[in-house]
Amino acid sequence: MSHTSAVHQHQAIQRLLKAGDTKSAALACKALTEEYPEYPPGWVSACHVALALGNADKAVGYARHALTLAPESARLLVLKAVALRVAGAYAEAEAAATAAANLCGSDAAAYDELGNYHTAAGAFRKALRCFTRAVDLVPKSAAFRFNRATLLRIVGDLEEAECEYDRVIALNPDEYEAYYNRADLRRQSAERNHIAELEVARAAAARHPRGEVLVGYALAKELEDLGDYRRSFEQLSRAAALRRKHIDYDVARDVATVDWIEAAFPPERLRASDVGEPSSGPIFIVGMPRSGTTLLERVLGQHSDVCAAGELPHFANALTAAARTVSGVQGLSRRELVAASANVDFRALGADYLARTRPLTEHRARFVDKLPLNYLYCGLIHMALPNARILHLTRHPMAVCYAVYKTLFKDAYPFSYDLGELARYYSAYRRLMRYWHSALPGVILDVSYEALVGNLELEVRRVLTYCGLDWQPACADFHRNPNPTATASAAQVRRPLYVSSVDLWKRYERELEPLRAMLISAGIPEGELSGASSHT
């Protein structure tokens, strides 16, 4: 075997994958594995290509084959665990991850990859131990330290996370995400902030659009903390516009999706009885992002009978799989997917959702799934799981839209970087929630963010009664909840309840006037757009 030729082919495949050209990568992988079947990295690439193409079963097969060539490889065992988890074989994936941990030895990269696996699996404390071990082995790796800092933030060790981000930046000043994440860990003060450092970093980041975006959002956040609202919004709007420039997104499709859902699920269809899985375990929290969903999840997670499971993609994934089975087509458009979803076996859908979820939550009778975008599926959730509870977080339209606009999301919510698109999306969301309430009266409980922060115990007692749970005083001490959280609110929910965010948007009334006008034009009642009351 010409090892040099195999290496070159493997490197070419990695470049194709990085560029997103999975079809060319798949062809190159086939050529490499056929020419050099004894070369393990070829099968590793084949596994990555299969995962990128959404074929988890093939990915598992390729990982298994690679392990026949190098059975003592910790990294290959981690790859097998990743593929198995994507394929839904959770128990076997955990077994592979455990075996990998016993073989990592002094291989820092193997610990890092294992940490990434545990992060994806929601086992954050295991992930932190892996990243810490990688840092111990290679202290000068900015990448390993960055991963460790991220996990420290998730588990709530915010002071150490800030120190670790400082070390990352010292090792690699071009690691711009570290600046952004660090800014969000605490409220900055006049005596202790990073504004001067961020202004230097912004100038250096000008040649890196993604870096310029990250530093811009960090600057906006720190300037807001210091009360320099005019400069904060200037930085924010500039960074948001740059972010939007690099996103392929059409808000009209999201708006049309609401029409497709309403057409596919008329009220009489939604009210069909005895079609779902009868479990009363799930409690769904839905709504716009930044509406208080994480706060309510942390509150409920303090209850002894409730597991806070985080933002789970499982209902959408189970629904997509069921719709493809019904249609017999894998490559459905979104409109076709919505139409096909009306004909799925809803009892089987509910059972599949529970099967995907319960490995994480079976230690408690009830669990919270707080993926905000599940608002799209409220009616379908009720059909699949008629005894599940659905909590809808509401928040003042201007407050929630501003909170969304000022948040830099990693991948989700592409509507959040342009005020016009944000107004159109928000209006469509409101329209769908009105439809669910009209078609299914009494099924969904609205929970006002303003009421939650204004009188926590009273509002939580109402929520617990709806969920069939008794009041427990620990629910009021949500900030003491030790459970990890990986959402954009990871730092905020570690603090005692505060109300400063309720009317923060009013600091930007002049700058947000175009948003207000567009919301009115999109059908949001003008009376809702002043004051601090939440819609219902």
Q: Where in the chain are the domains?
A: 1-103, 252-529
Q: What is the pLDDT of residues 68-123, one digit of tens each?
A: 999 999 999 999 999 999 888 888 999 999 999 999 999 999 999 999 999 998 89
At residue 491, the pLDDT reads 55
Tokens standing for residue 211 = 């870096």
Tokens standing for residue 92 = 């076997």
What pTM did the predictor assign? Answer: 0.88
> Which letter, b or e, does each residue of 359-383 get, where b requires 16 or more Cβ atoms within 10 Å of its Cβ?
ebbeebebbbbbbbbbbbbbbbbbb
Q: Residue 9: helix, strand or coil by DSSP?
A: helix
Tokens standing for residue 224 = 């807001």
Phi, psi of 445 (to 5 degrees): -100, 120
Q: What is the pLDDT of residues 23-68, one digit of tens each?
A: 899 999 999 999 999 999 999 999 999 998 888 999 999 999 999 9
Top CATH class, 1-103: mainly alpha
Tokens standing for residue 307 = 């597991």
Domain 252-529 has CATH 3.40.1440.10: no
At residue 19, the pLDDT reads 86
